[in-house]
Amino acid sequence: MAVLSGQMVKMSCEAHEHPLVNYQWFKMNKEVPHGNTSEIVFNPVQVQDSGHYICRINNDHSFDFSDWVQLDVQESNLTCHGIPDNKLHIHTQPQAQRLLLSDRLVLECTAIGKPLPCYQWYRNGLALKDETNRMFRVSSVSFEHQGIYHCKVTNGKETEESISVEVVILEELISDGLAIAELGDEELFATDKVALLIGNMSYKHHTQLKAPMVDVYELTNHLRQLDFKVVALLDLTELEMRNAVDEFLLLLDKGVYGLLYYAGHGYENDGNSFMVPIDAPKPYRSSNCLCVQSILKLMQEKETGLNVFLLDMCRKRNQYDDTILIPESLKVTANIVFGYATCQGAEAFEIQHSDIANGIFMKFLKKRLLEEKKITVLLDQVAEDMGRCQLTKGMQALEIRSSLSAKRALTDPIRQSACSPTSLARNLQWAKAHELPESMCIEFDCGVKITLGFAAEFSNVMIIYTRITEKPSEITQCTASITDFPLALYVEPKDTNKCTPEETGSFLVSKDLPKHCLYTRISSLQTLKENMILTVYLTYTYQGIDDPLDERKTIDVGKPLISKLDIHSGIRNFCAQTCPLPHSLCNSPEYAGAGSHQAFTSSRYTPPHAHLNVYPQQWRQYTQLESYQQSMNWRASNSMNSPDSQSRFLSESIKSKNVPEESTDEYCNLGPSL
C-alpha cells in the first residue's frame, strides 16, 4: 500500500484455525519493536516506516509466515483529512516545464492507495518503455523529449490518470552576440544543504573580538531551521581552519547548497579575500591566512548547486602583504553569491550591548534569513536595512557580488535519493562531528548517585553539567565536581564547576540546560588528541562528623563533537586542497628560511578560551556612544588602520623591523580601528 506521512496505517494477520499462537512482525529481517500482536499500527506513519513487512505465527509445534506487504510512505506537509482510506488517489501531479537543450528533466507523479500503485508514463499518448516509476527523469534533454506527458496509475482495482503537461525544449537564440533564452519558472531544490561557520575571537597577536561567538550561534540556529547541516566552530588556528575546510568539502556533492560564513579579522588584496586564523603572526601575509577564492574553486569542483559566502570581516588592504597572486580561472557556474559585511577597502563593525555583542551585518541578516526569497534579493533587503542604521551610516555598507541566474533561495527544499551512497557518507560524516557523549549515572561507594550530562554550544564547544540525583539520608552535605581535564584543552580550574552557565562564559545555551547543577564549559575541542578522560570528585559529610570524606571515579567520555575528525592533526596536503593558489604555504616566498619557520610554527598555537566576559584591557579600545550606550569595534587588525594610523605604523615599522605595535592611547569618533 502507498500512503502519506501523517496518516494512520494498520496491518493485521490472524491465524483462524489455531487461536493460541504467538505473533512477531518483521521489517525485512529485523523484528519490529512491540510487534508481537496480530496487528501493528502506525499512527501517525512516517517516511522511515517505508519497507517490506512480514508476520511470523508460531505455537509449540510449528510456525508459518504471512505474505510480504510493502508499505510506501510519501512525505507530505499537508493535512490528510478527506483522503479516502485505501482508495487510489494521485497526490502529486506532474508540472509543465520549459527547458534548454541538455537540461535535466524531472517529472513526478505520486499516488497513494491499497494495493500498492503501479505507474506508466506516456508521451504524446504512447507508453514509454520501462518508465514505470513515479519519477520520470532525463539527464540531458534533446528535441525528441518535447511533447505532452501524463502518467497512468493503477493498483489492480482502480485506475487514475494524471493531468497532461507540456514539456518545451528551447534552443538558445543569438542576438547581438548575446545568448537569450526563454525559461519558465521551475521548482528549484537542493540535494542537500551544508554550512561551515567559523568565528575567530581570541587572537594571540591581534586585537580580540567579541561578537563572532554570538553571530555564529544565531546563524547556526537560523540555518538549522532551513534544514542545513551546520558545522559551527570558534577560535581556529591556521592548520585547524584548513582542515575544517577540507572536512567541509567532503560534505559537498553535486547539487548540494554550500554556505561558508566567517566572522573575524580579515583583509582583501586585489579582489582576493583572506580569513585570518587566531595564531596569525604580526604582521601576517597570505601564506598565514586562508583565501576565500581558493575555497570557492574547490567548491565548484564538487558541482554544487549553490555557493554562498557570507564574510563578516574587514576588507582593507594589507600593506604588509606584497604577494602578487595569479589565480586560476573560476568556472562559469552562475551559482555564486558573495555577501560582504562591508565595502572594499572599508571596516566591518561589531556592536556590544550589556554582555552580548553582535556584528552589524548579523544584526540585520538574522531578521530576514528565513524569508522565502532568492538569496540575492534577500541580501539586497538586508543592505537596505543596514543603510538605515544611523550608527554606521557612511562607514559600513553591505556589498553583494553574484553570478546567480536561477531563483535559488536558502529555503529551497531538499530532494535526495534515499539510498545514495554519497548522501549516506555525507550524513555519517556530519553526524560524526556532532556526536555528544551519552549522559551517565555514576554511583559512589557511599551510596551517592550523580548524573553527568553534556550539551553542545558549538561544534567545538561543550558544556558538562553534574547533578546529584540521590544521596543517603545520613549524608548531610555532598558536592560533585569534575577535574583532571586533558592537558591539550588548557582548562582553567577556576573557570570550572560553576553554579550557573553564565559564570563559565556560556550566555547562549543557559536557558536550555537543566537547573541546579554545576557547569563546566570546554572549548577548543578540536585540539583533543586522545579520548577525554575526566575525574569525578565527590566530597561529602556524614551527620555528626565534621571531617569531610571524598571519593573519585575516572570516566572516559570518548572524543566528543568535532574532536573525532582530528582537524588538529598534521598537514593534510592542504597546499593541494584548500590553498592551490600561489599564496599557499608551499608556494610562498617565505616558505624558505626563517620565514618558513615562522609560518609553519604559527599553526601550532592552541587557541585560548573564548569567554564572552574576558577581554584583557590592553586589547580594548572603545568609546561609549551617548545616543546608543554601546561600544563598537572594527574587525581589522592594527596592521591595517585608518589612513592616519596607517602612516604612523608605517613610519614606526621602519624603526622596528616592519612589525607594527599595538596602541591603546588613541580614539576616533565611533571607536578604534582594531
pLDDT of residue 632: 52
What is the distance between the alpha carbons of residues 510 and 336, in angstroms, rounded to a whole number? 37
Query: Which residues are marked as active site?
Result: 265, 314
CA 594 to chain centre: 38
Which has the minimum average pLDDT: 189-193, 196-200, 499-503, 512-516? 512-516
Give the position of cell 578604534.
Answer: 672
Do 266 and 311 contact (CB within 8 A), yes or no? yes
pLDDT of residue 183: 45
The answer to whether domain 440-559 has CATH 2.60.40.3360 is yes
The answer to whether domain 192-432+574-604 has CATH 3.40.50.1460 is yes
> pTM of the predicted model, to two decimals?
0.61
- Report the candidate in 120, 138, 139 with the shortest Cα–Cα distance to residue 130: 120
Give the position of cell 494477520.
Answer: 13
pLDDT of 411 above 80: yes
Q: pLDDT band at residue 257, thresholds of 50, 70 and 90?
A: very high
Amino acid at 595: G
Give the position of cell 502507498.
Answer: 2
Indicate the SS3 state at residue 520: strand
Q: pLDDT tens-digit profile of 183-195?
A: 445 678 999 999 9
Mean pLDDT of 290-296: 93
Most confident listed range (326-330, 343-347, 614-618, 627-631): 343-347
- 241 Rama sector, left if φ>0, alpha if ψ -120 to 50, beta otherwise: alpha
Provide the β-strand partners of residue 540. Answer: 478, 549
- Report the candidate in 379, 344, 362 with the shortest Cα–Cα distance to residue 211: 362
3-state secondary structure 95-111: CCEEEECCCCEEEECEE
Domain with CATH 2.60.40.3360 in the chain: 440-559
Q: pLDDT band at residue 72, thresholds of 50, 70 and 90?
A: confident
Rg (CA), the chain: 30
- Provide φ and ψ at 338, rounded to 5°: -110, 130
Q: pLDDT tens-digit profile of 216-247?
A: 999 999 999 999 999 999 999 999 999 999 99
Cell of 521: 564549559
What is the distance between the alpha carbons of residues 536 and 452, in angstroms, rounded to a whole number? 9
Indicate the SS3 state at residue 437: coil
Cell of 263: 566572522
DSSP state for residue 412 in the 8-state scheme: P
pLDDT of residue 595: 34
pLDDT of residue 635: 55
Indicate the SS3 state at residue 427: helix
Do 321 and 269 contact (CB within 8 A), yes or no? yes
Exposure b/e, 600-622, CB count within 10 A at least 16 = b? bebbebbbbbbbbeebeeebebb
pLDDT of residue 82: 38
pLDDT of 152 above 50: yes
In the predicted model, what is the mean pLDDT of the chain?
Answer: 79
Provide the β-strand partners of residue 535. Answer: 483, 554
Which has the minimum average pLDDT: 88-97, 348-357, 600-609? 600-609
Q: pLDDT band at residue 304, thresholds of 50, 70 and 90?
A: very high
Cell of 167: 514539456
Q: pLDDT band at residue 663, thresholds of 50, 70 and 90?
A: very low
Amino acid at 652: E
Q: What is the CATH number of domain 2-74?
A: 2.60.40.10
What is the distance between the alpha carbons of residues 356 and 544, in angstroms, rounded to a whole number? 47
What is the distance between the alpha carbons of residues 464 and 458, in angstroms, rounded to a whole number? 13
Amino acid at 208: Q
Domain with CATH 2.60.40.10 in the chain: 2-74, 92-180
Q: pLDDT tens-digit profile of 586-597?
A: 333 333 333 333
- Report the candidate in 583, 657, 596 with the shortest Cα–Cα distance to residue 285: 583
pLDDT of residue 156: 81
- Report the candidate in 437, 484, 482, 428 with the shortest Cα–Cα distance to residue 456: 437
Evaluate the CA torsion angle 495, 498, 502, 507 in order and state its sign: positive
What is the distance between the alpha carbons of residues 135 and 108, in angstroms, rounded to a whole number? 5
What is the distance between the alpha carbons of residues 627 and 616, in angstroms, rounded to a whole number? 26
Q: What is the CATH number of domain 92-180?
A: 2.60.40.10
Per DSSP, which regions of 32-76 are E strands? 39-42, 51-58, 63-65, 69-74
pLDDT of 172 above 80: no
- Report the candidate in 260, 361, 376 with the shortest Cα–Cα distance to residue 312: 361
Mean pLDDT of 550-575: 80
Domain with CATH 3.40.50.1460 in the chain: 192-432+574-604
